[in-house]
Structure 1
Amino acid sequence: MKCSQTATWLAVAVLLTSPMAWATNGYFAHGYSASQRAMGGAGTALTEDALIATINPAGAYWLEERLDVTLSLFSPIRDYQAGPVGAGADNSILRLEEGGLRSDNEMYYIPGFAYTRRLDEVSSWGIAVYGNGGLNTEYRGSTTHFGEGFAVGVAGLDLISLETRCEGAFGGGVPVAGEGDTGGFCGNDDANAGVDLIQLFIVPHYSRRIGERTSIGIAPIFAGQRFRADGLGAFRQFSNQPDRVSGTGHDTAYGYGGRVGILTGAIPGFGFGASYQTRIRMTAFDKYAGLFADDGDFDIPSTWNIGLSAHPSDDLRIAVDFQRINFSEVKAVGNRFDTNDFVNNCARPRLLAGLGFGGSLDPSPSCLGSASGPGFGWQDVEVVKLGVQYRVAAFKLRAGYSKGDQPIPASELLFNVLAPAVPEEHFTAGLGYQLSRRVGLDFAFMYAKSLTVFGPNPLSNTDATAVDLVLGAGSNATAFGADANDQTLRLNMRQWEATFCFSYRFE
């Protein structure tokens, strides 16, 4: 027991202090063990290693006492492109600099391990420690345009221009040399924009055989996650908590949930498995309560999966899984960005208050950080996974494919420049080798096909005038929505991953 406790806390320390990030199915990993990763993420009804507990705790009963330790090298390549506004464009609230940027940091490592042991003839227990998912971007350089074409004033005074250009992909730096900043748009802080999110699961589990060919399992989940955002200072004045938007360092949240599962081989030659993971209730990211909707709440959404395995021969295994991830149930992730509501009921009154033209700095349900405020607008994701394994002597040859939805609607690309989790197809392969009766080695490789998503920047063009800005919704209630002359944004991401696993059987 002391050995497993030491390994657990070592894995926790590595996971929470190492630079890691990945995004495959949204920000969930496509698989967790080397065998799952090599078979497209499938494995709900296939017991190849102790990390079966990550997707179906019922499967652990059918294993001997064993330890599996994994290390993945993961490389996401992500970039965005911003086009020009249309020829008939009028004014602009926020426009990204034309051209594009490629995110820094393209190599990460992801450790994990699992241990399982039989208690008696009908039950088993174990523990798994692994990274559930994450996101990371860092954009250096570029500039951001604010308030183009807008000037406000009162009778007897000169018009005051709101137009400015700020350093950074989201204007988090200082005004570009020679530019004023009457509206206070620039963040005057870190110009490098990006986010960093990692999630760790510690999962003790218990499984029990019922009948001759069926088992059930339960696994309480203890979760930790860490987050940081930089270069977003330009959005502070549009938040209900301006000091908790950007540049406040890493914040850590903790929570709990659970997973239940069933696995049966009642029909000879086939296996069926199903598993459900609850929504993981997390403490809030207090340092970013002004950025995330619902005062920094960032729960981990529920997910469920079902799987079927076929065993045409002693050496051949075929597995098919279906998974659904309910991203929309978490407000910080699922809330849409209503630009008319945001500009009319949050940005406009705050800009006017800053200029001394009335307005209000009071908290608003339309601002960042509120329960109904802007989020990333992610939709739920469904994934189909297919894998095949063929044993030749001491070797196991594996291959797989998965196809899922990408979570980002075209209308939500602006904020998702920070989180371009758009890959839909994964191609995988791998090899297992039983070095001795007790020691095994496994390797898996994954390539996520490049996918490009296009959509408008709804703040880049508006037919609203300074009068509309002053009078708000009563003048032109829909002036700040998307239109044909908006700047076009393009998000692109591709990935590759190599996973190594060492396994040890104690019996």
Structure 2
Amino acid sequence: MLFRRLLCAGGLLAVLSTPAAFATNGYFAHGYSNTQRAMAGAATAMAEDAMVVSVNPANGVWVGNAIDGGLSLFAPIRDYTATARGEGAGAGILTIAPIDGKRSQRQRFYIPGIGYNALIDERSAWGIAMYGNGGLNTVYAGNSARFGDQLPGFQTECDGTFGGGNPLDGASDFAGFCGGGDPNASVDLIQLFIVPHYSRKFGERFSIGIAPIFAAQQFESKGLKAFAQFSNAPDRVSDNGQDFSFGGGGRVGVFGLPFDWLAVGASYQSRIYMQRFEKYEGLFAERGDFDIPSNWNVGLAFQLPGKQRLAIDYQRMNFSEIASVGRPLDPNRFVNECALPRLLAAQTGGLLGDGGARPACLGSGQGPGFGWRDVEVVKFGYQAVLGSFVFRAGYSRGRQPIPSSEVLFNILAPAVPEEHYTAGLSFRVSPRLSLDLAVMHARHNPVSGKNPLSNVDANLLTLLGSGVLPGAVDTSESFGSDAQDQDLILDMRQYELTVGFSYRF
């Protein structure tokens, strides 16, 4: 009965949250509760609200009986810039049409969150919280992509950032590059968590906590059908509607008060194993696998004179352990071992090239992902109580996950902010009820790199004969980045306003 209620509650949150995006460190939220959002997420050693399980389940026994809820208006501004290829560029596989500041549509999202915490006795507590991750949400309408630059008979231009639509202006598409589907390139990922938790004190200054995690994901991609012929499941790459997956993991935490003026906390969340996205098993590595990476955090909270507190957190998110997220694009391997054999097989009826499943293609166990690296974030939060008011502020800084070598696919997921500035205010309406307000700004941090598929050091004969014809030129290292490739620039800035309440009972 409890599990059914959890699923029903999660379904309600999913309805309220769809579609959504989140203020992000990678695609993890910078904070989940009203107070966390106001303090840049520095909460591992704090016990301020009933959603503390999102950072440390050991803290629940210190919170008491509480219900906290909030609703955020999140506004991410995402865009990419694509330059022309260099003057000496030769043949190209994929070139995005030059454009300056192509902006993603849909810039307002509403994000709910709620938590419940209750004391069982003087030494233990339980609770449940619902919250989410996101950030992989973009919709690029218009623009176009060119395939086969300077390859006579193969060159074409297709509608859409990644050529997901039809050939432009009646152009021929001899090689079948164009996707022939939705031209608007977009992805939408939502992750929702339902987290019951239990915490217990040992002595007067130490506690531990455990929290099983029930997770649900929703994903959809559009405008990527041009990549179908480079996938091991070509009908499961794009334009297949929403897909869902479910799974679970867990979080453990510890909390201690070594001194009256110092609190310490630490927490670890396991990898959350999810069902595959079957509708998109031709897009993500390992046949649509998209587990949620492990992460851990430690924190200190200092009690200062005059009811002031200073919190410092460190968080690490292990994106690289998930192949779909962390595996980089190796352009030489992708072209030599997937793209060229597939194109040759398609154009020669299998006489040249192999049209079967290949390990370098999209969707395979060794296929390319977004190439994200692990993210480390340091967070600082400040809180001061003045009568019925609580003032909060915060700052966080971390390395964004996208290296310059991975900008091509990450047009779809430009999670590049590195700094978050936050502030907030709570007003105690009564001894039980408080109203909360928080604001956040993540300033822009452009990341630029080369499109390694836009220029290759090879002519048509070399490309067609590579690895197939007797005496063919070895092109195994011909398709990496070079000075003649087009430049791609990714950018994102974020704004967020959160309103909420805190009720003690």
In 2, distance between residues paired with 1:435 and 1:39? Answer: 21
Contact 1:8 1:129 in 2 (8 A): no
Q: Residue in 1 aligned with 2:357?
A: 363
2-structure distance, mates of 1:8, 1:239:
34
Q: In structure 1, what is the equivalent of residue 145 of structure 2?
A: 144
3-state SS of 2:112 partner: strand
Of the structure 1 ranges 134-143 and 215-224, higher mean CA displacement relative to structure 2 is found in 134-143
Judged with a 3 Å threshold, the aligned counterparts in structure 2 of structure 1 residues 240 and 288 are, in CA distance, closer, same or farther, namely same
The CA distance in 2 between the partners of 1:98 and 1:342, in whole Å, is 23
- The alignment status of 1:222 with 2:214, answered yes or no, reads yes
Q: Secondary structure at the match of 1:254?
A: strand
2:295 maps to what in 1?
303
Whole-Å Cα distance in 1 between the matches of residues 122 and 258 of structure 2? 19
Q: Distance in 1 between matches of 2:93 and 2:274?
A: 35
- Runs of 5+ consecutive residues of structure 2 not aligned to the other structure: none
Q: What is the correspondence of 1:317-356 to structure 2 with a 5 Å cutoff?
A: 317-356=309-348
Q: 1:7–1:353: structure 2 CA closer, same or farther, 3 Å change rule? A: closer
77 and 397 in structure 1: CA distance in 2 versus 1, 3 angstrom threshold: same
Q: Secondary structure at the match of 1:50?
A: coil
Report deviation, 1:467.
1.9
Taking the TM superposition and a 5 Å limit, the aligned residue runs for 1:104-183 are 104-151=105-152, 161-183=153-175
Q: CA deviation at 1:178?
A: 2.8
For the Cα contact (< 8 Å) 2:189–2:218, is it kept in 1? Answer: yes
CA distance in 2, matches of 1:468, 1:393: 76
- Tell me the residue number matched to 1:489: 488
Q: Give the alignment's TM-score, normalised by structure 2.
A: 0.96
State the partner residue of 2:478.
Answer: 479
Partner of 1:21: 21
Q: Deviations over 1:109-151 (max 9, x none)?
A: 1111000101112110000011133420000011100001114
Separation (CA, whole Å) in 1 of partners of 2:121 and 2:499: 31
Q: Secondary structure at the match of 1:137?
A: strand
- Larger deviation, residues 124-133 vs 243-252: 124-133
Kept after mapping to 2: 8 A contact 1:15/1:110: no
| 2:125 partner amino acid | S
CA contact (8 A) 2:142 2:161 kept: yes
Counterpart of 1:103 in structure 2: which amino acid? S
- 1:397 corresponds to: 391
Q: Structure 2 CA distance, aligned partners of 1:216 and 1:6?
A: 26
Q: What amino acid sits opposite 1:132 in the alignment?
A: N
What are the superposed Cα offsets for residues 328-374 of structure 1, whole Å, 9 maximum, x if unpaired? Answer: 00000011101111111111011111111521111000000011111
Query: Contact between 2:94 and 2:147, CA under 8 Å: does it hold in 1?
Result: yes
Asked if the contact 1:349–1:360 (Cα under 8 Å) also holds between the matched residues in 2, the reply is: yes
The aligned residue for residue 406 of structure 2 is 412
| Distance in 1 separating the partners of 2:5 and 2:495 | 31
Q: Decide which of 177, 182, 186 is 1:185's aligned counterpart.
A: 177
Matching residue of 2:196: 204
For 2:240, give the aligned amino acid: T
Q: Find the aligned partners of 2:497 and 2:257 in 1 and give their Cα distance.
A: 32
Residues 127 and 33 (structure 1), Cα distance of their counterparts in 2 relative to 1, 3 Å cut: same
Partner of 1:53: 53
* Partner SS, residue 309 of structure 1: strand
Structure 2 equivalent of residue 154 of structure 1: none
Q: CA deviation at 1:14?
A: 3.3
Identity %: 54
- What do the CA deviations read for 1:400-427 (whole angstroms, capped 9, x no partner)? 1000010001000000000000000000
Q: What do residues 28-79 of structure 1 show as CA deviations (whole Å, max 9, x unaligned)?
A: 0000111111111101001111111110000000122111111111110000
Task: State the Cα distance separating 1:215 from its structure 2 match.
Answer: 0.7
How much has 1:23 moved relative to structure 2?
4.6
2:502 counterpart residue number: 503
Return the alpha-carbon distance in structure 1 between the equivalents of residues 93 and 83 of structure 2. Answer: 16
**Alpha-carbon distance between aligned partners in 2 of 1:95 and 1:126, rounded to the nearest angstrom:** 52
Contact 1:12 1:129 in 2 (8 A): no
Q: How many aligned residue pairs are there?
A: 496
SS at match of 1:266: strand
Unpaired stretches in structure 1, ≥5 consecutive residues: 152-160
Matches within 5 A, 1:264-303: 264-303=256-295
Specify the alignment match of 2:62 in structure 1: 62
CA–CA separation in structure 1 for the residues paired with 2:263 and 2:231: 51
Return closer, same or farther for 1:24/1:167 CA change in 2, 3 Å cut-off: same
Q: Aligned to 2:187, what secondary structure does the other structure show?
A: strand
Whether the aligned pair in 1 keeps the contact of 2:6 and 2:194 (CA below 8 Å) is: no
Cα distance in 1 for residues equivalent to 2:458 and 2:483: 15
Q: Which string of whole-angstrom CA distances, capped at 9 and with x for unpartnered residues, describes residues 173-232 of structure 1?
A: 000013100010000010011100000000000000011111100000000010000000
SS at match of 2:163: coil
Would the aligned equivalents of 2:20 and 2:134 in 1 still touch at CA under 8 Å? no
Tell me which of 248, 253, 260 is aligned to 2:252: 260
Preserved contact between residue 458 and residue 486 of structure 1 (Cα < 8 Å): yes
Which whole-Å CA distance do the structure 1 matches of 2:330 and 2:34 have between them? 42
Residue number among 239, 255, 274 corresponding to 2:231 in the alignment: 239
2:495 and 2:329 map into 1 onto residues whose CA distance is: 31
Runs of 4+ in 1 over 3 A off after TM superposition: 4-12
Residue 248 of structure 1 corresponds to which residue in structure 2? Answer: 240
Q: Shift of the alpha carbon at 1:7? A: 9.1
Code of the residue aligned with 2:480 in structure 1: it is G
Summarize deviations over 1:414-455 as a string: whole Å, max 9, x none.
000000000000000000111101111111100001110000
In structure 1, give the amino acid aligned to 2:130. Answer: V
1:313 CA displacement: 2.4
Distance, in Å, in 2 between the alignment partners of 1:314 and 1:6 is 43
Conservation of the 8 A alpha-carbon contact between 2:23 and 2:74: no
How many Å apart are 1:21 and its aligned residue? 1.2
Q: Aligned AA for 2:148?
A: G
SS at match of 1:311: strand
Cα deviation for residue 268 of structure 1 reads 1.8
